Each structure stands twice: as structure tokens, then as C-alpha cells.
Structure 1
């Protein structure tokens, strides 16, 4: 026993010393005070459990990364931006009439991209419709295809995508394939090798090009983008895996939404891919944009779209502020669907103020969990939201993964961003905001169908929970800034 203590004692002391050092590092480098407190307390109190996770997750801002990515993006936007950004006004017309000049001005400055008219957008509900449309677009490609996903699996759906891309490359079509190195950590080398051997330009998106940061798990590229020939683009919540087709019990059926965009906004979506591809490869993909047709003119009828990319290298916290502005713009209703309800204080305050203005505020979340701690934290935020007058619904049939915002009866945003700190500050995301009453009506109908299959929760659920369960919920929320 004495021999064991002689060995264990120094190890315990070393763990606490390293915990204090890591806590100091967290205080100096974590982007939010809540996150700094969460890491510091856990590292000092439980270094045996938190030192290793901090090594992978905690260094949310490391030397040079944000500055290097920001400078690269600014150079690209100055020298290689789509010509549509120069020829079409972004602060006049329908968006300003429906949402106000200040809203349009702030969001275009926030995302660094303009509102563009003359688009058509349609919703793709669930995986079958989404991938049917994507594969049809790839099949019809004549010049180039770009594909970017957070998760790519080597399963039946992944094989279909690989075969489709290789087939187009064999026809002389340029194919670019970008996947996140952490989200697709289990993607086997043979899958990537087969794509490259088939002529597909394939590359992982890594956090940083330097070996010292290869243990970094933050700053993931959570975007999902497919574009073909500059004519159509797909954005939304689906990744590549059979679970997104409902093939993974007990989460199935999987509820998700993508959109198909046609028109000038496709160039903006492609440019987001260009920034990511250039960061990953230091090369620019070759895009031959189609010549504009009479239907593409600024005066033509069509939907107005704003592409809002966000990421940890932004000057502002773009994603969080996008949610705040969308909520503040609502005068009648703001409906949000998200798999993870872990808002920061700014977003939560905007939601509460919307209720006080008399806005119909609804949030739709899943009733099934895919991440235990995040799910527990989401439940407590749901109960807090109820006390503020926010209506919370749980989707019953299966796992809800869609990311949708409906603003009044005039605008809707769909993309990859969740209502949590990872999307707000740690991941690269993309949202497409569409201002059009017809499209907003389409999204409203889709969400009403979802609400019809959901259960609205009330305050009694929390009150009736056991004391232990309530304690566990509060403990989970302590980690919300780093989830």
C-alpha cells in the first residue's frame, strides 16, 4: 500500500498541476467567458477526466489560425469574387421592403455577400428526395461538379456517390470532393484512393496545415454543399450515410431538410466552397460560370437569396448574430427547428424579447437523442424557454436534424447551422436566407406538418422530474459553452 501511494501521490499532484495550467490557458484563450469558466472549473476540479478532452476540444483559438484564414478569405473576396456581387444591388428591392433596410444592411455586411434576385428555391424533404435530386443533377453535369460534406460514410449511399462522381470524371467533367477530416474520421483510405484513381480531385478539410495542430477537434467544416455547372446548388442538413435515409435505428426515420437553389445565388454558394478548397489545397478550383440568360437579369421575377457563410475566423460571431438578427426581424412569428437547443445568452435574450413583442416563438427539437450530454443540456434550455413564453415542441416519429428558420410570412433560412455554441463559434457553417412569400408558405406548410407530428411540452415535465434528474440536467448545462 505504501509503495502504491508513493506512485499514485505524485501522479495525482501532477494531474492537478497540469489541470491548473490548462485552466489558465482556457481563461486566456477561450472565446467566451462562459466557456472559459466551464473549462477552468472542470480542469481544476476534475483534471483526471477533463485534461484529455481539453487537449482535443478546448483550444478553441490557437496561434495564427483565425488570422491566417481571415486574411486568405479577404484576399479571395477582393480578387476572385463572383461578378454578380458587383452588378446587382443588395440593399434595395424586396428584401428591404419586407424586412427593413437595417436588417438587410446588417446581414449583408455580416456575411460579406449581397442579396441576389432572380433565384428559384425548392425544399427537399428528407433523404430520399434530397439525394434523388443531387444524383440527378450530378448525372446531368457537363462541365464540373463540386461536393462538400461534413460526414461521408463508406456505406451504400457513400458507394453510390463515389460511383456517380467517378463516372462523371471519366466523361471529362471536373469533379471536386471535399470532406471534413474529423467528421469523416472513419472514411477508409480505399474510398479516397478510389476517387483519386478515378480522376476526382479529393481532399480532406483539416483544421490547420501544421502538424502541431493535428490533435485539434474544433473548427470543423460542418457545411454541406453540392453544385453543378454553376446552374444549381444544394445546401442543408444531410450528410452522406444511410442514417440520413432512415437506415439507422433507433433514430430512424430521420427528419431532415435540404434546398435546391437555381439562379445567381449559386455563384455565392460556390464561392463558399472556393474559400474552403483554397484553404485546404492552396489552389483555386476551375469554374466556368454559364452565360447569363434573360431570366437571370436583376429585373426578372424570382426569389431574393442571401448566402450567409460563418466560421471561427470571422471578424464577428457571424452565426450567432445571424440568429439574433433573424429573431429581431420577426414581427409576427419566428419558428426554428434544430437538433440541439443550446443557445448563447444573446440568442436566448433575442428569443425572450420576441415573446415580449407578441411574436409567436416556436422551437422544434427532437425527442430522441444522438448525444447524451447535449440532449440533457437541450432539455434544460427547453424548460427555461417555457418559462419565458417560448413554445417548445418535440418531434416524435424519429430523429429531427433539420436546421430551419421561418420569419413571419416573408422569409426562411435553411442550411447547416444548429442552435448551439459549436455552430455559433467553432464550426464552419452555411445558411441561405430566401425572401419570398411563396417559399415562406412552402416552408410554413412543411413545418406545420412537423408540428402535427410533435408533442408540445409544458412546465410540469420539469417539475415532476426527480431531484437527481434535475441535478444531472443542470450539470450537463454547465458544459453547454463547450458542447
Structure 2
């Protein structure tokens, strides 16, 4: 009888309450008095970020997987040089592997020039012998903090193809979010902890955590910043994704570019489908990484057979990492639903318990269906045997994708 009562009480809870309680059990703060703004394209993200950088009075902190040596990055470095000359502290972290894998990496000469302009810029985990040790645990975050009051996170690095697209895959669809309010403190914590570890400095103090004294009625969102740091918080992000899916009672909408999820997330999705939750997943028809589309198609085909609706986005490359649950809460961040992100890399996502933001993301999802193809058994049969074999084979290596 006691077990039955507990089960009924759990079922009666809304999905957002279940996940909020789960996060509290993980000692992840649920901050109140926040306001977020979705930045739905590269153009929106860079216009907004540049505007906030221009207004910076004390510090600018940037932590990105990579900065592509192109027009957007160079314009940003020029602006940061101006801010540094005004006495604003400018600190930048970028991942060594992310830079190496970039088709237009930052070179030593350019880094020297940036530093001469008063900007502190460091590589995360530079390559050293034995080089294989540095293939894992990359810093895949894309975060920014301005004066401790405004924070950014999401899926976009600093590169002009977020606006212009790329020749082989077309337009680049992505998502970032600007946050103001109490949640910014935890984005700042993430940056400063990594910065101090990389540089051996001790940057801290009240000046980096100012009081947010300009709140209006719009500051009414609950936000949890869920970070993944190897050896520190290795499972929190993966477990929060899985718990959110298991808590869903009506609907799950997922957009993710490299959809080869870990076992716990696959099982959570299967269970959600089996209990009647409407599961919709959107992946791209094209990808910037070989084999990944075939691995994704192989997995989503299995979920389609179970009852999920699978949409193949044809309007370019959809690089967004979003999930919406029951029209109640959502997540935006840098984490891909694959083993690379959820088992190895440093990642940061915001879980936003707000109907307005969740609806805005769901509306985008619905609009993107117009540029997508619904995967059906007939369309799956039309795929070549070779691609199906590649998909099956690629799944063997999903822990490394």
C-alpha cells in the first residue's frame, strides 16, 4: 500500500517539479528572478553579444571551443582591444583541439597581437606529449559573461558561417541564449574555475559577482545551470537529460545535430514512447562530420519503429541543442546527445523552467517542420543498403563520436 501511494504521488507531480526536485537532490541550485532571451540565429547572437561587449564597464569573459580566424572573430577581437584600452578586463579561453580542428585556426602571430592589445587569451589543454592524452575531455562550452550581470550560452562558436553558412551544407541553424539575473553567477563560477585552473591565477571577489539591482517584472524565470566537468560533475548533465525524459507526461521535442545518445537516454526515450508520450526528434539531413548522419539515422529509425516522430531537417545544418518537455520547461546549451559530450567533454546547459521560453522553442520546432521530411518506413526502405550498413557500423563507435 505504501509503495502504491508513493507511485501515485510521483505520477501526480508535474514533470517540471520532478526535475526541479531531482536537481535539488544533486545540489544544483534552481535560481529565481531571471530573464532569458533566445537568440535564434548567428546574426541575432552576434548583434546581441557585440552590443553587450560595447557596454562592458569592468570585465568580459569568453570561453569557447574555437574562434575561427574570419571576419566575425576579427571584428570581435578589434572591439575587445578597444574595451581593453578603456581599462576593461578581457579574458578569453579557447580549446586547443577545437582550434586545431578548425579550418581557419588562430595562429601564434595573431595570438601575440591580441595579447599586445591588453587581452589575456589562453588555450585550454595545449597539446603535449603524449598527444593521445589530449584527445579526450575537450572544453566544448560556448559561454560569455559581461560584468557579471549578463551571461550567454548555447551551441555557437565564434565564426562567420553561423551567418553565411557553408558551401557543402548550406545555412547553419543554431541557438544561443542570453541570461540576466541570479543564474549568471553560476556561469561566472564555471568560467573562473576553469580560468584559474588553466592560468594558475586566482581571479575572484565581489566585483565579479555584482548585485543584480535592475530587475523588472520580466525577471520571473527559474533557471538551473547544469555543467559537466570530468572528474567533478561527470554525470549530472547526462542524468538530468534522462530524468527530464522520464518525467515527461505529454510531449518531448528534441533538436540535436549528432544524435547518438548514451544508453540511459535511449532507454528513457523508449520508455516515454511506450507509456504514450508524444516524442518528436529533429536531426539534420546533412552533417559537418562524416558517418554521424548514418549513425543518427540508424538510431532514429529504431525509435520511429517504436512510435516516435522523426523529422529530417533539410534547410541546412541544424546545429541547435534544445529539448522541450510538456510545454513546461526546456534546455538550451552546448551538449550534443552523444557520448563525446555526455561522457568526455566540458559542457554547459541551462534548464529553463518557464512556459514562455519553452513555447518559443516549440514554435520554432513547429516552423522547422516545414523545412523537414518526416521519416517513414517507406523512406527508410529507400535508403541504400550501404548507408544502412554504415549506420550500423558507425554505432559500434558511438562512444567516440
SS at 2:73's partner residue? helix
CA distance in 2, matches of 1:145, 1:444: 32
Match of 1:328 among 236, 242, 246: 246
Deviations 1:13-59 (A, max 9, x none): xxxxxxxxxxxxxxxxxxxxxxxxxxxxxxxxxxxxxxxxxxxxxxx
**Which position in structure 2 is the counterpart of 1:398?**
316
SS at 1:295's partner residue? coil
* Correspondence 1:365 to 2:292: no
Instruction: Indicate the structure (1 or 2) with the bigger Cα radius of gyration.
Output: 1
CA distance in 2, matches of 1:100, 1:138: 34
Residue 225 of structure 1, CA deviation? 0.5
**Contact 2:16–2:353 (CA under 8 A) maintained in structure 1:** no
Match of 1:175 among 90, 109, 114: 90
Residue 164 of structure 1, CA deviation? 1.2
**Contact 1:319–1:425 (CA under 8 A) maintained in structure 2:** no
Aligned-residue Cα RMSD (Å) equals: 2.1
Residue 113 of structure 1, CA deviation? 2.8
* Unmatched 5+ stretches in structure 1: 1-95
* Unmatched 5+ stretches in structure 2: 1-11
Q: Which TM-score applies when normalising by structure 2?
A: 0.90
**Which position in structure 2 is the counterpart of 1:293?**
213
Question: Which has the larger helix fraction?
Answer: 1
Equivalent residues, number? 384
Residue 311 of structure 1, CA deviation? 2.8
SS at 2:177's partner residue? strand
Residue 471 of structure 1, CA deviation? 2.0
Deviations 1:437-460 (A, max 9, x none): 112121121221112221111122
RCO (CA 8 Å, sep 6+): is it higher in 1 or 2? 2
CA distance in 2, matches of 1:269, 1:127: 21
SS at 2:99's partner residue? coil
Residue 300 of structure 1, CA deviation? 9.0
Quick check: 436-445 or 136-145, which moved more? 436-445
CA distance in 1, matches of 2:394, 2:185: 41
**Which position in structure 2 is the counterpart of 1:119?**
34
**Contact 2:295–2:390 (CA under 8 A) maintained in structure 1:** no
**Which position in structure 2 is the counterpart of 1:448?**
366
- The structure-2 alpha-carbon separation of the partners of 1:369 and 1:247, relative to structure 1 and needing over 3 Å to count, comes to closer
- The structure-2 alpha-carbon separation of the partners of 1:189 and 1:469, relative to structure 1 and needing over 3 Å to count, comes to same
Q: Which TM-score applies when normalising by structure 1?
A: 0.76
* Correspondence 1:426 to 2:344: yes
CA distance in 2, matches of 1:184, 1:300: 38
**Which position in structure 1 is the counterpart of 2:20?**
104
SS at 1:409's partner residue? coil
**Which position in structure 2 is the counterpart of 1:202?**
121
- The structure-2 alpha-carbon separation of the partners of 1:450 and 1:193, relative to structure 1 and needing over 3 Å to count, comes to same
Question: Which has the larger strand fraction?
Answer: 2
**Contact 1:243–1:252 (CA under 8 A) maintained in structure 2:** no
Match of 2:110 among 171, 183, 191: 191
**Which position in structure 1 is the counterpart of 2:79?**
164
SS at 1:184's partner residue? helix
**Which position in structure 2 is the counterpart of 1:132?**
47
